[in-house]
Structure 1
Amino acid sequence: MAINKRRMAELKGKSVFPERSAAAEFRFRSQVICLNETEKAQFEGIADPAAFGSTRAVISTIFHELTHWSDMVGTVWGRRHLRMVHSAFGVLNSIRVQGVEKQFWKMIALHDAERRLMLPKYYRVQEGKGQLGSPQDSRIDFSGGIEFDTSGKQNPERPILFVRFYGSGSFFIRQPLVVGALLETTAVWSELKTGLEIASTLQNGADSVEKAFIDVELRNLLEDPDLTIYTAPARMVSFFAGISDYNRVYELAASLAYLCLNLSERDFNKLRVPEVMRVWGKRNDAWKRNMDPAYAFAAVCLNAGRWTVGSTVESWIDSGLKKSGLPSAAALREAAIVAMEADDNLPASLWIGQGTYLLTAGLASARARLQGQEPALTMSLAVAEGLPLPPIIDSNCEVGKLAFSTFDYDEWEPVEMFDVECELDDAVLNILSACR
């Protein structure tokens, strides 16, 4: 079976987590991964990393998208969000049944929750002339705002934390710090680590050349003024920790981001913010009630402070966690697994079986990523742990499978779930036209 090409074309570029290029995208509602520039022959049946030596971008991009998938089905935050998706799926079962309109709000709630993951362009401000440059060469501070509700009024229960980047000259960017930025940070780290693994298989000096290319790509990403929606967490770590090594920056940022995606309600209640964030008063309470992982990331990052001689990734993060009133990173990782093992129920729908299997696969990926001190999802980890990674849709809209995956393809069907996403998209747009 293959995905409907017409519907794929209609939805292309409209995913909740828009990518930096058109190479690939993760379909949030269906959990389908789509490769827009790669055919399955380029990856299907290949289990040796060295086979990707001349096509590093292919497997690196795949693991970028697989990290989005893993963060959705294998973190405390993601599984909470997945329940909202399946709650909306449940409305589709009986959308024309009399009285079901009382449940339409579930589709609107999902739409609003998705909207907040990146926030509309309105909230991002870019002014002046100059260059953003490296985090070490610029200045960073914060400001607070409030989200507009559907009536155009400010909603004090939905505060927004802005990171303000000052470049050279009069250049200025005000960037909302959002959950989507954390998700991009963990995905870039997986992409980077996978690329370095592939480069290490090259011989006769080609490995050094390829690693140099990777360094340039990472620098271009982190210093691009148009990409702060993706790079804000990493730029914050570089600036506040005082680190110029971009590989170390992304390791720290991704490790902290992944922990924040796994915080519990109790953790948010205990969170102590640094003095600079206390100026917002009761808005801090609203951020905690909303269990905003990006807000927690900012608090721990600022509390962790400067990187010092003898610091490690774990010690730097633990320092920030301790000052934030939170358990150690090791304790948080252990608690996340316990929480996901105990909370595996989804709202009833025709697709609960497929959704439940994704939770099972997601828990396997979470256990693998949480067993160490950094959360990269890489080809070597997938092979070593025998991870159940999902099928992938290629550029011809055909289903491709990873040779090293243990995923049960009878339990989850990407073509069917893509069709369900299309049906839900139509239903959401229809009800939005009635109330917005």
Structure 2
Amino acid sequence: MAIDKARMAELKGRSVFPERSAAAEFRFRSQVICLNEIEKAQFEGITDPSAFGSARLMISTIFHELTHWSDMVGTIWGRRHLRTVHSALGIIRNLKVAGTEKHFWKMIALHDAERRLMFPRYYRVQEGNGKLGTPKDSVIDFSGGIEFDAMGRQNAERPILFARFRGTGTFFIRQPLVVGALLETTAVWSEMKTGFEIASTLLNGADSVEKTFIGQELRNLLEDPDLTIYTAPARMVSYFASISDYRLVYEIAASLAFLCLNFREREFNKLRTPAIMHVWERRNDAWKRNLDPAYAFTAICVNAGRWIAGSTVESWIDGGLKRCGLPSAAVIREAAIAAMEAEDDLPPSLWTQQGNYLLTAGLASARARLQGSDPGLTMSLAVAEGLPLPPITDSNCEVGRLAFSTFDYDAWDPEEMFNVEHELDRAVLNILSACR
């Protein structure tokens, strides 16, 4: 089985999910994982983490992308977004049928939902001289804005929460706090945990050396001024909790990010915002109505405050939740699983059956990752829980399988789903040319 190389080349790099490199990408419309620099022979058939001892970056990259997949099919937010995708897929084969025009808005709705995952570059400002420095060295505050609609007018129902980073000298960054940053935070944590897991299998001191490399990679990531759109959640935790241990920072940030991705409408309705956010008045209500996980992350992070001796990740998050008028993280996690179990099938389309299987696989992934505060998706967790992880497309556009996955490969076809993504991509661009 292989994906068409010409179509892959046409869509390559056009996924809106946040990616820091060209090594791999997750196709959010088709849920296909594409490895641009890895061949399936490098990972197929391997079940022992020690076999990846000399290929830590490769397997870490794979679990980074698998986390994007899991967040898409195994969180309340992701499954809601998947419904938007399938709503558009439901009309893709009927575009020339009389009367279908009244449903074209579904493709525009998908485009707008995707656009908000990262927001266009217009909304990010970076200026001045100096350095961003460590998260604790820079000052972080917030501002509020309003999204421009398709007519170029401000839409009061679509406020934007901005993070502002002030580094040394005159260095300044202002950017939207986006869902994409939460997705990148959980994926980096899985990547890092996988790396430490692989490093621990090395002998004769090589494990310590490899773990030092991982720590330096994480430091470079967090202190890079060009990457704050991805690292904002972790930098916020470091600043408001006053923590300099980057590994702990990322564990906390990923844990809170994953929890917020699993907020139901009920949690958003009950959320009390911290005093420093009251200045935006009715915009706070709009953020809640829009079920914005990044907004919830910010409120809880600010309310959780400084990390004190004896704290745990769970207790720090629970403190922030309590000040926001919300139940404990454990209660929210349990409610999220129950909500996923009670969901209806996806909107009808030719691909609903395949999509519904992904929801089943995603529920298994969610149960494993919601057992405690740590949402890291690693090889050891996948093996221990017998997780159904999807097939992966390699650099030759061939489809590979993880030997330890329990995924039903007859229930979901990556080649077919990639082809329909290509079809949907053209249809969305066509309707956009008509109305934007």
Q: Normalised by the size of structure 1, how large is the TM-score?
A: 0.99
1:159 is the counterpart of 2:145: no
Pairwise mapping of residues 315-394 of structure 1 onto structure 2 (< 5 A)? Answer: 315-394=315-394
**Distance in structure 2 (CA, Å) of the matches to 1:344 and 1:16:** 27
Deviates more, 1:104-113 or 1:4-13: 4-13
Q: CA deviation at 1:19?
A: 1.1
Secondary structure of residue in 1 paired with 2:136: helix
Aligned to 2:102: 102
**Distance in structure 2 (CA, Å) of the matches to 1:303 and 1:18:** 27
**Distance in structure 1 (CA, Å) of the matches to 2:362 and 2:6:** 30
* Aligned-residue CA RMSD (Å): 0.6
Task: Give structure 1 stretches of 5+ with no counterpart.
Answer: none
Q: CA deviation at 1:16?
A: 1.2
Q: Which one-letter code corresponds to 1:282 in the other structure?
A: R
Aligned to 2:13: 13
Q: 1:167-193 deviations in whole A, cap 9, x for unaligned?
A: 111000001100000000000000000
Aligned to 2:39: 39
Aligned to 1:286: 286
Q: CA deviation at 1:58?
A: 0.8
Task: Give structure 2 stretches of 5+ with no counterpart.
Answer: none
Off by >2 Å, runs of 4+ in structure 1:
none
Q: CA deviation at 1:7?
A: 1.1
**Distance in structure 2 (CA, Å) of the matches to 1:373 and 1:221:** 23
Deviates more, 1:351-360 or 1:89-98: 89-98
Secondary structure of residue in 2 paired with 1:91: coil
Secondary structure of residue in 1 paired with 2:91: helix
Confirm or deny: 8 A CA contact 1:344 1:356 kept in the other structure.
Answer: no
**Distance in structure 2 (CA, Å) of the matches to 1:179 and 1:215:** 25
1:247 is the counterpart of 2:264: no
Q: 1:30-61 deviations in whole A, cap 9, x for unaligned?
A: 00000000000110111100000000011100
1:131 is the counterpart of 2:128: no
**Distance in structure 2 (CA, Å) of the matches to 1:130 and 1:167:** 7
**Distance in structure 1 (CA, Å) of the matches to 2:15 and 2:97:** 29
Aligned to 2:261: 261
Aligned to 1:425: 425
Q: CA deviation at 1:281?
A: 0.4
**Distance in structure 1 (CA, Å) of the matches to 2:350 and 2:93:** 7
Secondary structure of residue in 2 paired with 1:373: coil
**Distance in structure 1 (CA, Å) of the matches to 2:95 and 2:71:** 30
Q: CA deviation at 1:114?
A: 0.3
**Distance in structure 1 (CA, Å) of the matches to 2:232 and 2:85:** 27
Confirm or deny: 8 A CA contact 1:390 1:401 kept in the other structure.
Answer: yes
Q: Normalised by the size of structure 2, how large is the TM-score?
A: 0.99
**Distance in structure 2 (CA, Å) of the matches to 1:294 and 1:18:** 14
Q: CA deviation at 1:344?
A: 3.9
Secondary structure of residue in 2 paired with 1:196: helix
Q: Which one-letter code corresponds to 2:340 in the other structure?
A: M
Aligned to 2:117: 117
**Distance in structure 1 (CA, Å) of the matches to 2:315 and 2:391:** 37
Q: 1:305-331 deviations in whole A, cap 9, x for unaligned?
A: 000011110000000000001110000
**Distance in structure 2 (CA, Å) of the matches to 1:350 and 1:147:** 34
Aligned to 2:206: 206
Q: Which one-letter code corresponds to 1:221 in the other structure?
A: L
Aligned to 1:78: 78
Secondary structure of residue in 2 paired with 1:156: strand
**Distance in structure 1 (CA, Å) of the matches to 2:175 and 2:186:** 19
1:62 is the counterpart of 2:62: yes
**Distance in structure 2 (CA, Å) of the matches to 1:327 and 1:119:** 31
Confirm or deny: 8 A CA contact 2:18 2:184 kept in the other structure.
Answer: no
**Distance in structure 1 (CA, Å) of the matches to 2:283 and 2:408:** 45
1:197 is the counterpart of 2:197: yes
Pairwise mapping of residues 297-316 of structure 1 onto structure 2 (< 5 A)? Answer: 297-316=297-316
**Distance in structure 2 (CA, Å) of the matches to 1:62 and 1:6:** 23
**Distance in structure 1 (CA, Å) of the matches to 2:361 and 2:344:** 11
Secondary structure of residue in 1 paired with 2:90: helix
Q: 1:256-310 deviations in whole A, cap 9, x for unaligned?
A: 0000000011110100000000100000010000000000000000000000011
Q: CA deviation at 1:11?
A: 1.0
Secondary structure of residue in 1 paired with 2:280: coil
Q: 1:390-435 deviations in whole A, cap 9, x for unaligned?
A: 0000000000000000000000000000000000000000100100
Confirm or deny: 8 A CA contact 1:93 1:349 kept in the other structure.
Answer: no
**Distance in structure 1 (CA, Å) of the matches to 2:323 and 2:18:** 34
Deviates more, 1:205-214 or 1:368-377: 368-377
Q: Which one-letter code corresponds to 2:87 in the other structure?
A: S
**Distance in structure 1 (CA, Å) of the matches to 2:135 and 2:352:** 45
Aligned to 1:405: 405
Aligned to 1:170: 170
Q: Which one-letter code corresponds to 1:160 in the other structure?
A: I
**Distance in structure 2 (CA, Å) of the matches to 1:18 and 1:81:** 16
Q: 1:239-259 deviations in whole A, cap 9, x for unaligned?
A: 000000000000000000000
Confirm or deny: 8 A CA contact 2:221 2:227 kept in the other structure.
Answer: yes
Secondary structure of residue in 2 paired with 1:244: coil
Q: 1:353-407 deviations in whole A, cap 9, x for unaligned?
A: 1000000000000000001221000000000000000000000000000000000
Confirm or deny: 8 A CA contact 2:196 2:211 kept in the other structure.
Answer: yes
**Distance in structure 2 (CA, Å) of the matches to 1:377 and 1:18:** 18
Aligned to 2:30: 30
Confirm or deny: 8 A CA contact 2:18 2:181 kept in the other structure.
Answer: no
Q: CA deviation at 1:18?
A: 3.6
Confirm or deny: 8 A CA contact 1:15 1:27 kept in the other structure.
Answer: yes
1:215 is the counterpart of 2:195: no
**Distance in structure 2 (CA, Å) of the matches to 1:296 and 1:123:** 20
Aligned to 1:52: 52
- Rate the CA distance shift 1:344–1:200 in 2: closer, same or farther, 3 A: farther
Q: CA deviation at 1:93?
A: 2.9
Q: Which one-letter code corresponds to 2:139 in the other structure?
A: R
**Distance in structure 1 (CA, Å) of the matches to 2:273 and 2:372:** 27
Size of the aligned set, in residue pairs, is: 436
Q: CA deviation at 1:67?
A: 0.3
Confirm or deny: 8 A CA contact 1:199 1:207 kept in the other structure.
Answer: yes
Confirm or deny: 8 A CA contact 2:27 2:34 kept in the other structure.
Answer: yes
